[in-house]
Amino acid sequence: MKNLKTKSDTTRVVHAGVEKNEHLAVVPPIYQTSTFKFENADHGSRLFRGEEEGFIYTRMLNPTVQAFENAIAMLENGHKSLACGSGMAAIHTVFSALLQNGDHIICSDAVYGPTVTLLETIFTKFGVKATFVDTSNLDEIQNALRDNTKVIYVETPGNPTLVISDLIAISTIAKSANAQLVADNTFCSPILQKPLDFGADVVIHSLTKYLNGHADVVGGIVVTKSENDYKQMRKILNQTGGVLAPFDSFLVHRGIKTLAIRMERHCENAQKVAEFLENHSAIEWVRFPGLESHPQHKLAKSQMAGFGGMIAFGVKGGLSSGKSLMDNLELCQLAVSLGGVETLIQHPASMTHASMGKTAREAANITDGLVRISVGIENVNDIITDLKNALGKI
């Protein structure tokens, strides 16, 4: 569609990446093929030399995957994007492209647990040093800068503490240090936050979460601002092979059609659940960017179009009370992952962030009593009733 770029996100999610196809199908076909025929020997060799555009082999590029990549690049106001087999494959692709032996990266201390493990167990082997700081504190970032800092990596809101990092201020620091700002935007989706508009150079998503939204695909995506980053990353993704399959691309492409209305409901429901929790006598504390009590509520308001569906909280009595809550819920399901239509609840210290180790967790404020809830799109009164009943049983 012409001029889709100028339309609102609610319209863009429905039409993005849907190109005209041979039979004018409203939903483009799934190219479930591993390889593509060449017209003749010369055509094949021109494609391989990059003298002509076309499809060769699905690990390199596939029309179904490419249509989906175009959609996400547009929604993030980016240049191009690369669909990966998981969020971790996307993060690995970005680190591999932007970091060399001897380089340094500054990373938010409150990030998805395996991101920390990836840096500390794999990239250290290749001579990349990582410093973990509270990226909501600009002084900590400034103090951690070294001559060889190539990447500042932030997740905002951070997982699972929901701490907010100032994208504009951090991108200014990154620019002054000749480093690139990479933002994991999984918790927001492009509907609530577009980090490239705030100065970030690269955006990452776990597609598994809000973008797909239906808890039935594992995938990831990288969106770049520059052609150079895109080319480097495409080369690496092609060589390491962590691509997204055509069918999974089709599913997530279908998922994003409802992204705008899903995010609206997630935000609405989470605000009500957060307010309910904050006023409940069994709850010790609640962290949600949409609450006035969130220390960076104003900053969240300035860079997010909505506060999202993720809430962190602590139950009075700590871990044992938190466990009792989780075990007594009926509607809210005890499972890791997030961003799906169903409400999920989990315990980061023993689940998603267990691999980080207790010292790193404590430094990042991921206390043993912290419970994380991903508020779904069910009727909010049903979610609240479920929580009320389970809290009553502690």
CB of 241 to ligand PLP, least distance (A): 15
**3-class DSSP state for residue 313?**
strand
Amino acid at 320: S
Q: Per rule CB under 6 A, is residue 195 in the interface with ligand PLP?
A: no
Whether residue 214 contacts residue 74, with contact meaning beta carbons closer than 8 Å, is answered with no
Which of 119, 118, 126 is closest to 100 using CA atoms? Answer: 126
- Rank residues 159 and 249 by Cβ distance to ligand PLP and give the closer one: 159
- Please name every residue paired with 107 in a beta bridge, in sequence order, or none if there are none: 132, 153
- Active-site residue (options: 12, 150, 209, 372): 209
Q: Which of 78, 87, 255, 348 binds ligand PLP (CB under 6 A)?
A: 87
Which of 25, 7, 26 is closest to 74 using CA atoms? Answer: 7
- Active-site residue (options: 134, 184, 201, 248): 184
Residue 280 to residue 3: CA distance in whole angstroms:
48
Stretch that binds ligand PLP, among 83-91, 237-245, 309-317, 340-348 (CB under 6 A): 83-91
Residues in Cβ contact with 270 at an 8 Å cutoff, skipping those fewer than 6 apart: 288, 290, 307, 308, 309, 310, 311, 375
Give the other-Cβ count within 10 Å of 374's Cβ.
Answer: 28
Instruction: Read off the tokens for 129.
Output: 């040093």
- Active-site residue (options: 31, 112, 210, 230): 112
Site for ligand PLP in 104-123 (CB under 6 A): 112
CB of 381 to ligand PLP, least distance (A): 27
CB of 248 to ligand PLP, least distance (A): 11
- Rank residues 118 and 384 by Cβ distance to ligand PLP and give the closer one: 118
Amino acid at 127: G
CB of 88 to ligand PLP, least distance (A): 4
Q: Which of 62, 180, 206, 374 binds ligand PLP (CB under 6 A)?
A: 206
Write each residue from 168 to 187 as x if it is in contact with ligand PLP (CB under 6 A), else as -, in one continuous string.
Answer: ----------------x-xx
Stretch that binds ligand PLP, among 55-63, 93-101, 202-210, 383-391 (CB under 6 A): 202-210
Residues in Cβ contact with 355 at an 8 Å cutoff, skipping those fewer than 6 apart: 113, 114, 116, 117
Residue 163 to residue 156: CA distance in whole angstroms:
7
Q: Per rule CB under 6 A, is residue 86 in the interface with ligand PLP?
A: yes
232-to-193, 227, 236, 394 alpha-carbon distances in Å: 25, 9, 6, 53
**3-class DSSP state for residue 236?**
helix
Find how far residue 169's CA is from the centre of its chain. Answer: 20
| Catalytic residue check, 59 | yes
Residue located via tokens 């994208």 = 167
| Catalytic residue check, 112 | yes
Q: Residue number with the shortest CB distance to ligand PLP? A: 87
Whether residue 307 contacts residue 300, with contact meaning beta carbons closer than 8 Å, is answered with yes
Amino acid at 41: A
- Rank residues 87 and 309 by Cβ distance to ligand PLP and give the closer one: 87
CB of 336 to ligand PLP, least distance (A): 8
- Rank residues 28 and 160 by Cβ distance to ligand PLP and give the closer one: 160
Write each residue from 277 to 296 as x if it is in contact with ligand PLP (CB under 6 A), else as -, in one continuous string.
Answer: --------------------
Write each residue from 122 to 161 as x if it is in contact with ligand PLP (CB under 6 A), else as -, in one continuous string.
Answer: ---------------------------------x---x--
71-to-19, 80, 226, 249, 271 alpha-carbon distances in Å: 10, 9, 17, 11, 29
| Catalytic residue check, 139 | no
Q: Which of 12, 150, 209, 294 binds ligand PLP (CB under 6 A)?
A: 209
Total interface residues for ligand PLP by CB under 6 A:
14
Catalytic residues: 59, 112, 184, 209
Contact footprint for ligand PLP (CB under 6 A): 86-88, 112, 155, 159, 184, 186-187, 206, 208-209, 218, 220
